Amino acid sequence: MLPKIDYPIYKIKVPSMGKEQQFRPFLVKEEKLLLMAKESSNPKDVLGAIKQVINNCCMEKKLDVNKLTIFDLEYVFLKLRAISVENTIKVSYRDTEDNNVYDFDVDLEKVEMIYPKKVSNTIKITEKSGITMKYPPASLYEDEEFLNLESDQLFELISRCIESVYYEDNVYTTDQYKREELSEFVESLDIKTFEAIQSFLLSAPKMEYRIKYKNSLGHDREIVLSSLNDFFTWR
């Protein structure tokens, strides 16, 4: 039998968990998944491929990739790419002021996660009651039922991001209730609570890498990269 090759193990912090998990570099079989997803040009296929790559490379059996958020997947994938291929990538952007295209080298090891300040996932409704929220899992954006909603998508998103409801000493976890019951509960909330929920969802952590340069007019310019699409096309 041919020998099995041992690969180095790296620690990558999963943002929503706040702790490091162990990963191996992605291999040719994972590269094939990414290339197939890229060729399909379907965002769902790309998301599915990224999830599969992360799942394959994770050495922690208890990590459930389906429960990770979009910002988890994007950040972990970028870091995996850095250890699997190389940490530097090239990006090109057209300056909107002088219309010239500029090329930059981006060091993926310097990509940071920006966390919102003073944001709590617990939202008080009254002195005796409140809601515990979670950020949307990435799996939601593969859910045909959710994606095909023509209206009320915001209400459906909110109902799926409520983790639990508390009233006095009782805690009600939402996985015990039907979607219709959750939708009815969301519709019964007061406006201030509803706005607080929206603010929480808009406060999701995000990646950040800043590029500063001078354009041909001698003006200082800055580009902020904050999503996977800003960095590269999947390799």
What pLDDT digit, counting tens, does each position of 115-142 carry? 988 888 999 999 999 999 999 988 888 8
3 domain residue, yes or no? no
> Which pLDDT does position 232 carry in this prediction?
60
* 65 and 150 together in one domain: no
Half-sphere exposure of 173 (CA within 13 A, CB side): 2
Identify whether residues 78 and 140 lie together within a single domain: no
- Host domain of residue 162: 122-202
User: 220 and 183, same structural domain?
Assistant: no
Strands (E), 19-100: 19-23, 88-94
Are residues 159 and 188 both part of a single domain? yes
The answer to whether residue 78 is domain-embedded is yes
pLDDT digits (tens, 9 = 90+) for 161-177: 999 999 999 999 998 99
Same domain, yes or no, for 81 and 21?
yes
Sequence letter at residue 6: D
4: in domain: no
Q: Which two tokens stand for residue 149?
A: 């909603």
Q: Kindly state whether residues 104 and 23 are assigned to the same domain.
A: yes
Ramachandran sector of residue 106 (left: φ over 0; alpha: ψ -120 to 50; beta: rest): beta
66 and 127 together in one domain: no
- For residue 1, being part of any structural domain is answered with no
Q: How many domains does the chain have?
A: 2
Arithmetic mean of pLDDT, 220-229: 92
User: With 80 as the cut, is the pLDDT of residue 211 above it?
Assistant: yes
pLDDT tens digits along 68-115? 999 999 999 999 999 999 899 999 999 999 999 999 999 999 999 999
Domain annotation covers residue 2: no
The percentage of residues in the chain with a pLDDT greater than 70, rounded to a whole number, is: 98
* 187 and 83 within one domain: no
Q: Is the pLDDT of residue 233 over 70?
A: no
Q: Cβ(158)–Cβ(166) under 8 Å?
A: no
Positive or negative torsion for Cα 222, 226, 231, 232: negative
User: Are 152 and 211 contained in the same domain?
Assistant: no
Residue 16 lies in a domain: yes
From CA 164, how far away is CA 168, in angstroms rounded? Answer: 13
Interval 174-197 mean pLDDT? 92
Is 234's pLDDT higher than 70?
no
pLDDT at 10 over 80: yes
| Residues 211, 194 share a domain | no
Interval 2-8 mean pLDDT: 87
Is position 22 within any domain? Answer: yes
Structure token digits, residue 189: 């909330």
Task: Please give the average per-residue pLDDT across 37-60, as a whole number.
Answer: 88
Closest by Cα among 61, 95, 72, 88 to 223: 95
Q: What phi and psi, each to the nearest 5 degrees, are found at residue 126? A: -135, -175
Same domain, 139 and 227: no
222 and 108 fall within a common domain: yes
Nearest CA-CA partner of 157 in 146, 168, 167: 146
Q: What are the φ/ψ torsions at residue 70 (nearest 5 degrees)?
A: -60, -45
User: What value does the mean pLDDT of the chain take?
Assistant: 90
Which residues touch 61 (CB under 8 Å, ≥6 apart)? none
Average pLDDT over residues 204-214: 94
**Whole-model pTM?**
0.86
